[in-house]
Amino acid sequence: MKRKGVCYDVGRVLLGENWRPNFDPQIVHRELEIIKNDLHCNAIRICGQDLDRLTVAAEDALHQGFEVWLSPELFDHNPQETLDYLITAAETAEKLRVTWPDKLVLSIGSELTLFMKGILSGNTFFDRIGNGNPFLLSLRLLQLRLLRTHNKPLNVFLMRATQAVRNVFHGPLTYASIPIEDVDWSLFDLISVDYYRGKQNRASYGEHLQRYVSRPV
C-alpha cells in the first residue's frame, strides 16, 4: 500500500492538560472527511490517551476507508503503568482489527525516552528535556546522541511491551521513535520515526531518512 497520511489528535494529555478538551464525534467525522477528500490521504495516525475517543475516531476512519495507525499515548507514567495501559489499549485495538483485518496498525508508544518516566531522570516531560528551554533541550539531545545510554532501557521496555501486546493483539505493530533512539526494529512489523524537518536539517533530511528505509527488519 502506498501511504499518504497525517497525524490526528483526539486528546493527548500532558501535565494534566488535555490538548483537545472538547471532543465531538460529528466534528471528528467532518475533519476525517476533509483529510480524505481534500488532502487525499489514505492513512491516518490517530493519537491520544482516552481509549473511548481513540475507538470512536478509529471506527469512523475505518468506515471511511483509511488505514488506521492507532497510537494510544500515556505520558509521564512509569514503565509498569505504561505497559498496563498499552495492554488494555491493545485489547481495544484487537476488537477493531477483527472487524477490519489488514486495515489497522498499532503503535505501542511515542518517543518513550522523553515521554515515559524511568529512562531519563525527571518526573515530568519538561523536567527530562530541561524545563522547555530550547537551548537545554538541544544540549540534552546532543548528550543522548553521544552517550546513548538510553537505548538499552528503552529496548528492554519495548521487548516487554511487544511480547505482552502480541498476546492480545494479532495485527502489525510499530513504535513512533525519534532519531536519537536506536530501536531494535526486529521486534516490530513496521518502522516509524517522528522525524521533523526544519531549518537545521533541511539539506540532510532525505539522506538521513535512508537509514530507516534501507535497513532490513
Domain boundaries, the chain: 5-213
Q: Using CB atoms within 10 Å of the CB of residue 18, give its burial: 0 to 12 exposed, 13 to 18 middle, 19+ buried.
A: middle
**pLDDT band of 217, cuts 50, 70, 90:** very low
The mean pLDDT value for 18-27 works out to 97
Contact 77, 56 (CB under 8 A): no
Measured CA to CA in angstroms, residue 188 lies from 105, 108, 158, 161, 203 at distances of 11, 10, 10, 11, 30
DSSP H/E element including 183: none
How far is Cα 174 from Cα 176, in angstroms, rounded to an integer?
Answer: 7
Residue position matching grid coordinates 488532502? 39
- pLDDT, tens digit (0-9, with 9 covering 90-100), for 80-121: 999 999 999 999 999 999 999 999 999 999 999 999 999 998
pTM of model > 0.95: no
Helix axes 79-99, 151-166, angle to 10 degrees: 40
Pick the CATH number of 5-213 from 3.30.300.30, 3.30.870.10, 3.30.70.2190, 3.20.20.80: 3.20.20.80
